Amino acid sequence: MLGKVGEFDLTDYLTRAEQVILPSQMQNTSPAPVEEGPLYVGADLGTAYLVLVVLDTNLQPVAGEYQFAQVVRDGLVVDYFGAVDRLKRMKERVEARIGRTLTEAASSFPPGVPQAEVRATANVVEAAGLNCVGLVDEPTAANNLLGVQNGAIVDVGGGTTGIALVEDGKVIYSADEATGGTHFSLVIAGARDISFEEAEELKKTQTMQKMLFPVVKPVMEKVGSIVSRHLDGRTIDNISLVGGAVCFPGMADVVQQYTGIRTSTPEKPLFVTPIGIALHHAQVAAEMENEYGR
């Protein structure tokens, strides 16, 4: 998608995205008015994080918010009212920050989620005050930004690992299995005899991550085994890792060692899929314009 509007350095693009996609507690500290023009919105209802991303007419990230929330589990909405309330408040804070009203958004779902639950995700978005204009599976959303032509995309979220095989820029196979960042927190909590909430914060503390690596490595290896099983018998030259769990150092190395396939991850993997969802909104808008705007 990005290639259609110009060539961007992915690292630079994601670094700029991180500067405007802020934690919920920082939303009121830095107003950033956005001028008139179409806005494209991605609402990512993940197992561990809710992320709202806003792109401008040039597909540049201009605002967004993220917060830890356990309202979705393995792609299923388990706290509907909590999800609606949190997303609605996120929307309102972002609107106040940019001085614009958000009216539409796209969202996503892990591969293999039942259609009834996919619709539940759209219902959350719409109940929060956003017309849900499109739903896209997470690996396809990620590839909207990554632009992988041939290879595998692995999205390691809070609760699940999604795998997609890409040929000629199109996802031809996808699957999703339980195992993700939540499992990091669970094993840390057990190893250190602390609460899940304490473990969740501890795993994000950079000074502790080297010490915690041996504790979470078996979970990383489980991700590697899931990837290996789904890619077995397929000729794959490279794996692109994205998702919040990939922020933990060493993930790409472990998956590469386990699979024997060259594995890389962008520097800001948390925002790849949410931005890709917003890019899906832009794609839907372009298709609608082509169909009805002639």
Domain boundaries, the chain: 2-142+271-292, 147-270
Specify whether domain 2-142+271-292 bears CATH 1.10.10.10: no
Q: Which residue(s) pair with 51 in the sheet? A: 44, 66
Joined together, the tokens standing for residue 160 give 């699940």
Is the pLDDT at 105 greater than 90, yes or no?
Answer: yes
Largest CA distance in the chain: 63
Q: Which CATH architecture has domain 147-270?
A: 2-Layer Sandwich (3.30)
Q: Give me the phi and psi of 197, to 5 degrees please.
A: -60, -40
pLDDT in tens, 205-261: 999 999 999 999 999 999 999 999 998 878 889 999 998 889 899 999 999 999 999
Confidence band of 4 (pLDDT split at 50, 70, 90): very low
Q: Kindly tell me if the per-residue pLDDT of 294 is higher than 70.
A: no
Query: In angstroms, how far is CA 27 from the centroid of its own chain?
Result: 20
Task: Convert the pLDDT of each residue in 120-143 to its tens digit.
Answer: 889 999 999 999 999 998 888 999
- Whether 290 has a pLDDT exceeding 80, the answer reads no
